[in-house]
């Protein structure tokens, strides 16, 4: 009698809750901070409709670290802010362009500024100016020399390229390794200023003021028109071993729904999915 009741209970639960007996499919994703910030709301949306899927996103490893982990089999997908190298491609990495987000200049909320010019930015990085106005210090938050944000800033003008080099060699400068560390350090430092992907500002919701650059606001629209010059790339990197569940999620982020959600958090989606795997 007890055995019969036990199996009747199992069958009833299986009928009422079909997802209960399904094994969870874990998708492990990591990458650059901006790319992961974009992915967080998309992952939440996807998991609400696919209860058997668990998308695991840990603390950002950066583009290079995530690609290395992907090739080692530790990750299923890497989200990158740069194209893959020939060496990475030779080891099996497959790259898909997804889109880009404006690289914005941001300050902490009390800084008395709403717009910044290229010339004033050059002066800040070169150390020629140290105050927004008398009594309001400027505290520049740098990213590492090899970081993609640093490279993008250098591309704005020859003068800024030189000024960034000067800032990297100046003692006592504030330095942040990851996107989230940079945003948090800028937000809590009086007079703090530095670059940040717009998507991170919108998703993390830290107390930051987004500046216009030479009067142009960093948006997906000004990025699409070419009016805003600083863009941070977002791409998807997989391998032949990337599981079907992860590929299905990638198909979702490229879908009309996924693209629309990405646009809402400051990403201009420009890529198309690879038609064959």
pLDDT in tens, 135-192: 999 999 999 999 999 999 999 999 999 999 999 999 999 999 989 999 999 999 999 9
User: Domain 101-225: which topology?
Assistant: D-Maltodextrin-Binding Protein; domain 2 (3.40.190)
Is the pLDDT at 2 greater than 50? The verdict is: no
Homologous superfamily (CATH) for 24-100+234-269? Periplasmic binding protein-like II (3.40.190.10)
Is the pLDDT at 20 greater than 90? The verdict is: no
Q: Where in the chain is the domain with CATH 3.40.190.10?
A: 24-100+234-269, 101-225
pLDDT band, very low/low/confident/very high, at 275 (cuts 50, 70, 90): low
What pLDDT score does 22 carry?
Answer: 53
pTM for the model stands at 0.85
Is the pLDDT at 14 greater than 60? The verdict is: no
What is the rounded distance in angstroms from the CA atom of residue 82 to the CA atom of residue 249? 21
């Amino acid at each position: 009698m007890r055995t019969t009741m036990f199996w009747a209970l199992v069958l009833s639960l299986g009928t009422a809750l079909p997802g209960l007996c399904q094994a969870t499919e874990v998708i492990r994703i990591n990458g650059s901070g901006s790319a992961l910030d974009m992915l967080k709301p998309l992952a939440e949306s996807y998991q609400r409709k696919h209860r058997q899927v668990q998308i695991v996103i840990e603390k950002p490893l950066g583009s290079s670290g995530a690609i290395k982990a992907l090739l080692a089999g530790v990750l299923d997908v890497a989200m990158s802010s740069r194209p893959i190298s020939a060496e990475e491609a030779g080891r099996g990495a497959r790259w898909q362009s997804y889109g880009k987000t404006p690289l914005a200049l941001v300050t902490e909320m009390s800084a008395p500024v709403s717009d910044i010019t290229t010339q004033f930015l050059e002066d800040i990085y070169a150390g020629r100016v140290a105050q927004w106005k008398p009594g309001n210090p400027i505290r520049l938050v740098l990213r590492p020399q090899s970081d993609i944000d640093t490279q993008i800033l250098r591309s704005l003008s020859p003068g800024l390229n030189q000024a960034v080099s000067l800032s990297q060699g100046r003692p006592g400068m504030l330095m942040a390794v990851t996107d989230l560390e940079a945003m948090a350090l800028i937000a809590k430092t009086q007079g703090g200023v530095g670059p940040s992907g717009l998507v991170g500002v919108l998703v993390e919701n830290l107390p930051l003021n987004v500046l216009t650059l030479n009067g142009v606001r960093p948006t997906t629209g000004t990025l699409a028109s070419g009016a805003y010059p600083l863009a941070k790339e977002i791409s998807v990197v997989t391998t032949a071993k990337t599981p079907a569940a992860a590929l299905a999620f990638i198909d979702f982020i490229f879908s009309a729904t996924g693209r629309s959600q990405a646009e809402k958090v400051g990403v201009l989606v420009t890529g198309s999915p690879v038609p064959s795997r």
